[in-house]
Amino acid sequence: MSQRLLPDDRIAEPRAAASVLLAAGTAAPSPARAHGTTTARRRYAVVVTAALGLATFAAAAWHIAVGGSLIPMLDVAASLLGMAPDARTELVVLEFRAPRTAAAVLAGVALGTAGALTQTVARNPLASPDVLGITNGAAFGAVGVTVLAGSAGGVSGAAAAFGMPAAAAVTGFAAAALVFLLAWKGGLESNRVIIVGLGVGGLAAALTTWMLTLGSVQDAGKALTWMSGTINGRDWNQIAPLWPIILVGVCAALASRRGLNMIALNPDTAVALGLRINVTRVWILSLATLLAVAATVLAGPVAFVALASPQIARMMTRGTIPPVPAAALVGALFLLLADLLAARTFEVALPAGVATAVIGAPYLMYLVIRQQRRRTA
């Protein structure tokens, strides 16, 4: 089935680009020169990804070191290696700050990877789990438990360990399944998925707002704080069930590299190359859903990380599609720096989601304006 390409898709059409060059009378590059260019581009991407890894490691170390009091880096390293200089430093590093840092890294990696998968399948830089309604669906379930369970609710009550994660997972996957079913018309066409996702996300947001009116003011306040996206107060017990899920999801995304590269082509070309395009789309979007739900359970519906990270990674690596490893690292770095900015800059600590929204909202407007200009050019 033929599909109209969006402006950004032109860069992912090597055959179409070659046809344009030949039609314009421009000589196509020789195979040896093209191979050398591809190899140089891959090496450049590897170097950029390694630099992002070092930057993320440095940001994580700084995230642990700063706080109510500054802990020297050597003491941080010694505490993480089990050789803390004193009991207080060990308690602060291992029980208070390290879990928060680990939550930021895991949630950022999950959101960055989920965004890269979604944008590649949708072939649109505006697509992300936020836009497709997955995070709003997960938030609906989590807020429902928080509000309806009262004192045993999902933020600080007895249901915190299982109630909120379970409800968020169920409603997140239910929202994704609803999007797939409503958008299915002999296959999953990318623009139709985005439009249906916007509708399902809006419905979930409306139901969440209605749910807040049913609970007490105190429960609604807790739910609103969580909905803004925060990693404050995360502990190892909350991280333990989620890190294996995120690790498996990221590994599966890396293993799906061939399918991602092929699905970025024109659908007719991908099918001609032997790709089962609808099966691949469902598989990759399911992975994105799994990662987005896990990140939402861990840090709440943090806005714009999944939207911005893949495109930042694509621009930094000069790739044609968002690379999964770089997008994951940019997501982790984005959330670490956003949490530092929100929690350590002002007298009153703010949720990390506030900082990501402040940074991400202008970026979203920039993307919309850029796409509109390309369409009218």
Residues 306, 283 within the same domain: no
Q: What is the pLDDT of residues 297-332, one digit of tens each?
A: 888 888 889 988 998 999 899 888 899 999 999 999
Residue 97 lies in a domain: no
Residues 146, 286 within the same domain: yes
pLDDT band at 36 (very low <50, low <70, confident <90, very high): low
Q: Burial level of 87, CB count in 10 A (0-12/13-18/19+)?
A: exposed
Residues 216, 242 within the same domain: yes
Residue 19 lies in a domain: no
Question: Torsion angle, CA of 77/313/360/165, rounded to 10 degrees?
Answer: -60
Residue ending a domain, choose from 252, 269, 300: 300
Residue 108 is predicted with a pLDDT of 95
Residue ending a domain, choose from 300, 317, 350: 300
Residues 220, 347 within the same domain: no
Q: What is the pTM of this model?
A: 0.82
pLDDT band at 253 (very low <50, low <70, confident <90, very high): very high
Q: What is the CATH number of the domain that holds 281?
A: 1.10.3470.10
Tell me what the mean pLDDT of segment 233-247 comes to: 89
Residues 211, 146 within the same domain: yes
Residue 41 lies in a domain: no
Residues 202, 248 within the same domain: yes
Residue ranges making up the domain that contains 179:
126-300
Residue 158 lies in a domain: yes
Indicate whether 23 pLDDT > 50.
Answer: no
Q: What is the pLDDT of residues 264-275, one digit of tens each?
A: 777 778 888 888
Residues 162, 243 within the same domain: yes
Please report, for residues 80, 249, 280, 325, the alpha-carbon distance to residue 253 in angstroms, rounded to integers and kept in the order given: 30, 6, 12, 9
pLDDT band at 362 (very low <50, low <70, confident <90, very high): confident
Q: Burial level of 318, CB count in 10 A (0-12/13-18/19+)?
A: exposed
**113 phi and psi angles, rounded to 5 deg:** -65, -45
Q: Which of 92, 60, 66 is nearest to 79 (CA)?
A: 92
Residues 211, 353 within the same domain: no
Place of tokens 């997008």: 327
Residues 294, 210 within the same domain: yes
Q: What is the DSSP string of 289-330?
A: HHHHHHHHHHH----SHHHHHHHHHHHHHT-SS--HHHHHHH
Residue 318 is predicted with a pLDDT of 86
Q: What is the pLDDT of residues 120-129, one digit of tens each?
A: 888 888 788 8
Residue 22 lies in a domain: no
Residue 216 lies in a domain: yes
Tell me what the mean pLDDT of segment 69-92 comes to: 88
Question: What is the amino acid identity at position 372?
Answer: Q
Residue 286 lies in a domain: yes
Q: Going along the chain, which residue ranges are E strands?
A: none
Residues 245, 169 within the same domain: yes
Residues 158, 226 within the same domain: yes
pLDDT band at 220 (very low <50, low <70, confident <90, very high): confident
Q: Which of 93, 85, 7 is nearest to 368 (CA)?
A: 7
To 5 degrees, how large is the angle CA 181–CA 182–CA 186? 70
Place of tokens 């999007």: 179
Secondary structure of 52-101 in the HEC alphabet?
A: HHHHHHHHHHHHHHCCCCCCCHHHHHHHHCCCCCCHHHHHHHHHHHHHHH
Residue ending a domain, choose from 300, 315, 348: 300
Residues 353, 272 within the same domain: no
- Dihedral sign from CA coordinates of 35, 36, 37, 38: positive
Residue 256 lies in a domain: yes
**184 phi and psi angles, rounded to 5 deg:** -75, 125
Please report, for residues 59, 105, 179, 252, the alpha-carbon distance to residue 109 in angstroms, rounded to integers and kept in the order given: 14, 6, 24, 13
Number of folded domains that form the chain:
2
d(CA 302, CA 228): 7
